[in-house]
Amino acid sequence: MAVSTFKRGLRLPTRKTATEGKPVEQIPPPKQVVIPINQHFGAPNQSLVQVGDRVKRGQKIADGSGLMTVPVHASIAGVVKKIESRIQSNNTEGLCIVIEASAPEGGPAEGADTEFLPPLDAFTCTREEALARIREAGIIGMGGAGFPVHVKLSPPPNKPIDVIIADGAECEPYLTTDEAALTEKPHLVVLGLAMVMKITGVNRAIIGMEDNKAPLIPMIEREIRMGDYPGDIRVGLCKTRYPQGGEKMLITALTGREVPSGGLPMDAGCIVQNVGTLAAIAEAFTLGKPLIDRDLTVSGGACKLPKNIRAPVGTLLTELPAEFMDIDYDILRKILFGGPMMGTSVASIGIPIQKNTSGIILMTGEETWMDREGPCIRCGRCIRNCACRLSPVIMNINLETGDLDGAVKAGLLDCIECGSCTYMCPARIKLVQRFRVGKQRFRARQSLRLERQKAAAAVLGKG
Ligand code: SF4
Ligand code: SF4
């Protein structure tokens, strides 16, 4: 099989050996979960429950009305103990529903304490029913970005799609749960992919993986043959190279197409879905199961028992017994939600696992560079290694001087936040962190302008 790739990018130490090939272990039932009510892009949700309410596993507990809004569901059965603001994995405070595990009086019959949706046949229901099911099940992209899937599967009519790409590249160091999904539930990945093809009316799909996962190909191809779904589904291999799992890089490697500057995958005729998300889509139809469990990798030098785990959304690592998850706090220097390249550094382990938490990496001082930033030495390494062909050094200078428009002109909005420039910078300049903040500032400024324009239009209208 041919192995394709994209230009530039990095060869990173993969650091996956501690969890590679390990099965996903179900965590012991947590005593409580802390569920952020907003885990998506878009307008905020409102809580549908109150303190003291008894909830079932799978019951919808928060929802909203915006186009980009998706509901959240109780991931364990129990009683709502608190609804309060907590720090989340993106380091912002957000409203969370705290559920304490408990059984109803008399104890529930087997399965009686769950509330899933009725199963739905994705191949015979209408497109609208299918999209409504995906939204109702609270499914967002599980690869990290958290984009609502029902929106991603509804491109405008002027953006025809002819390829669906299943993203199983998992190029971030340490993370191994996409590999586990391809190993343990290839039937669900392929079924979810076939469902997405049916919903979007696309008859070509590629399951993209890095070539270090080549041994999985026969198993996946067997599932494709056994499923006998309509359309052309095949596996595409890419070089193990960072950031191969980025949507734009994967599209280029597998189709030869380029996503234009400022564009989205749909501008190249593609929709990209993470393999874990596809498995969740399959379960939302076959079992009626909302997105309430998350598979993630817990690893890093300060983690004594690195493993892939399956945890109810809202679980705190601090709740897990030491015989299951042992952490060496003496050498722990950095906690990352997500991988070391694109993840977020957080101050505490007591932060809830969310729908888009692909891993928690507990790093020692040796695994991370804790030294201070130095001045830019104009070496150009950040430019040479940017897979999006941007000039990180120029964007950074613009941001440092407060020239937001200059940074945008230099390509800030095309940055996929892969972190390669930060990794390569000899001066240890936290480039990607600055770009994240810069993009947030730009979006905030845009919405402020929009608000002002609306207010001005309202005043003129009255006049
Ligand atoms: S500028 Fe953005 S896309 Fe380019 S290497 Fe840095 S983080 Fe990655
Ligand atoms: S890699 Fe770092 S030091 Fe080199 S040009 Fe880019 S920002 Fe400057």
User: Can you give the three-state secondary structure of the chain, one letter per residue?
Assistant: CCEECCCCCECCCCCCCCCCCCCEEECCCCCEEEEECCCCCCCCCEECCCCCCEECECCEEEECCCCCCCCEECCCCEEEEEEEEEECCCCCEEEEEEEEECCCCCCCCCCCCECCCCCCCCCCCCHHHHHHHHHHCCCECCCCCCCEHHHHCCCCCCCCCCEEEEECCCCCCCCCHHHHHHHHCHHHHHHHHHHHHHHHCCCEEEEEEEHHHHHHHHHHHHHHHHHCCCCEEEEEEECCCECCCCHHHHHHHHHCCCCCCCCCHHHHCEEEEEHHHHHHHHHHHHCCCCCCEEEEEEECCCECCCEEEEEECCCCHHHCCCCCCCECCCCCCEEEECCCCCCEEECCCCCCCCCCCCEEEEECCCCCCCCCCCCCCCCCHHHHHCCCCCCHHHHHHHHHCCCHHHHHHCCHHHCCCCCHHHHHCCCCCCHHHHHHHHHHHHHHHHHHHHHHHHHHHHHHHHC
Residues 265 and 410 reside in one and the same domain? no
- Same domain for 278 and 389, yes or no, is no
What digits encode the pLDDT tens for the residues 229-253? 999 999 999 888 888 888 999 999 9
Q: Compute, in angstroms, the gap from residue 88 CA to the centroid of ligand 1.
A: 24
**By residue range, what is the domain housing residue 406?**
381-447
**Overall pTM > 0.95:** no
Cis before 243? omega within 30: yes
Which ligand has an atom closest to residue 380 CA?
2
**CA-closest residue to ligand 2 atom 3:** 376
Residue 111 lies in a domain: no
Same domain, 282 and 385: no
pLDDT at residue 103, as a whole number = 76
- Which residue in the block uniquely carries the two structure tokens 């993470």? 274
Q: What is the pLDDT of residue 5?
A: 66
**Residue nearest ligand 1's atom 4 by CA:** 386
Are residues 259 and 392 located together in one domain of the fold? Answer: no
398 in any annotated domain: yes
Cα(427) to centroid of ligand 2, in Å?
7
Are the C-beta atoms of 337 and 294 separated by less than 8 Å?
A: no
Domain boundary among the residues 286, 311, 338 is at 286
Are 167 and 279 within one domain? yes
Is residue 393 located within the same domain as residue 279? no
Same domain, 7 and 146: yes
Q: How far is the CA of 378 from the centre of ligand 2 (A)?
A: 5
Compute, in angstroms, the gap from residue 351 CA to the centroid of ligand 1: 27
pLDDT number for residue 462: 62
Testing ligand 2's pocket by substitution, the residue of 382, 394, 423, 433 carrying the most ligand atoms inside 8 A of its CB is 382
Domain boundary among 254, 286, 318: 286
Query: In this structure, is residue 261 part of a structural domain?
Result: yes
- Strand-pairing partners, residue 10, are 242
Number of domains in the chain: 2
- Range from 128-142, 367-381, 433-447 carrying the lowest mean pLDDT: 367-381
Q: Is residue 262 part of a domain?
A: yes
- Shared domain for 405 and 274, answered yes or no, is no
Model confidence pLDDT, tens digit, residues 6-48: 667 788 888 999 999 999 999 999 999 999 999 877 788 999 9
Report whether 420 contacts 242 (CB < 8 A).
yes
Residue 80 lies in a domain: no
Question: What is the rounded CA–CA span in Å between residue 324 and residue 307?
Answer: 9
Q: Please indicate, yes or no, if residue 356 is contained in any of the structural domains.
A: no
Ligand nearest to the CA of 10: 1
Residue 158 lies in a domain: yes
Query: Is it the case that residue 437 has pLDDT exceeding 70?
Result: yes
Closest residue to atom 7 of ligand 2, CA basis: 393
Q: Is the pLDDT of residue 106 over 90?
A: no
Name the closest-CA residue to atom 6, ligand 2.
Answer: 382
Tell me, in angstroms, the distance from the centre of ligand 2 to residue 386's CA: 12
- Please state, for a pLDDT cut of 70, what percent of the chain lies above it: 96
Residues 280 and 387 in one domain: no
Mean pLDDT across the chain, nearest whole number? 92
Ligand 1 atom closest to Cα of residue 392: 1
Determine the residue type at 280.
Answer: A
Domain boundary among 239, 255, 286: 286
In a domain, 31, yes or no: no
Ligand 2 centroid to residue 443 C-alpha, Å: 26
